[in-house]
Amino acid sequence: MSRPNCPNCHYPHNACLCASIEPMQVKPTLIILQDPSEVGHAKNSVRLLELVIKDTQVVVGENADDFAELRAQLAQANKPVYLVYPSDTSVCANQTQVEQDVILLFLDGTWRKAYKLLQLNPWLQAYPALHLDLDSASNYTIRKASRSDSLSTLEAAAMMLKAIDNNHNVTPLTNALNAMVEQRLASMPAEVRARYR
């Protein structure tokens, strides 16, 4: 039998994060291309991102056909579109001028899955790519990552918003993530929790 979920945040009642959610509005349009395996993941930060920034658009899929509607939407967009992904051709978002009224595309999945999404969707490479200047480790300690520069999608979104406008207050995003991490850690047995500290 599945545990009952909170009707607002959709987390189980004993893991409800509503008290830590402070909605915010942003000028950039955030679109998440999400690997299907992430959808039901309990530690997925995109669900939190959607709670804080209600206009976040999440499109689940793997190949170009799955993203046909999104591609049509982007083709008709009258604002710049950027892919947030580090590559040989990406530009550091902190060192370039990006206007606020833009569309930011994020790939949600492990590094391996995000790379696979990119390979299966060569149309994404038509958009200029941005990467982040990572001067601190991820706070998303409850998920293991294969690379030291790994960020949760929520953290990447928060950092991109800050890079575009340094005056932007992104604490609603970071506070929500911190609350989820602390809650997950508190629910773990002590010996398991020690592995994540």
In three-state secondary structure terms, 162 is helix
Tokens of 136: 């601190």
pTM for the whole thing? 0.84
What is the arithmetic mean of pLDDT over 81-104?
A: 92
Q: How confident is the model at residue 139 (pLDDT cuts 50, 70, 90)?
A: very low
Q: Is residue 148 pLDDT above 60, yes or no?
A: no
Q: Looking at residue 1, what is its pLDDT?
A: 52
- Give residue 4's pLDDT: 78
Element of type H or E holding 72: helix 68-75
Select the more confidently predicted residue: 195 or 73.
Answer: 73
Which residues, in sequence order, are bridge partners of residue 29? 103
Give the rounded percent of residues in the chain with a pLDDT score beyond 70: 82
Q: Residue with structure tokens 């995003």?
A: 173
CA distance 64 to 126: 13
Distance linking the first and last C-alpha atoms of the chain: 32
For 37-89, write each residue's pLDDT tens digit. 888 766 678 999 999 999 999 999 999 999 999 999 999 999 999 999 998 89
Contact yes or no for 41/35 (Cβ under 8 A) = no
Mean pLDDT, rounded, of the chain: 84
Q: Are 102 and 161 in contact (CB under 8 A)?
A: no
Residue 121 has pLDDT above 90, yes or no: yes
Q: State pLDDT tens for residues 179-193.
A: 888 776 555 545 544
Q: Which residue has the higher pLDDT, 164 or 142?
A: 164
State the pLDDT at residue 138: 42
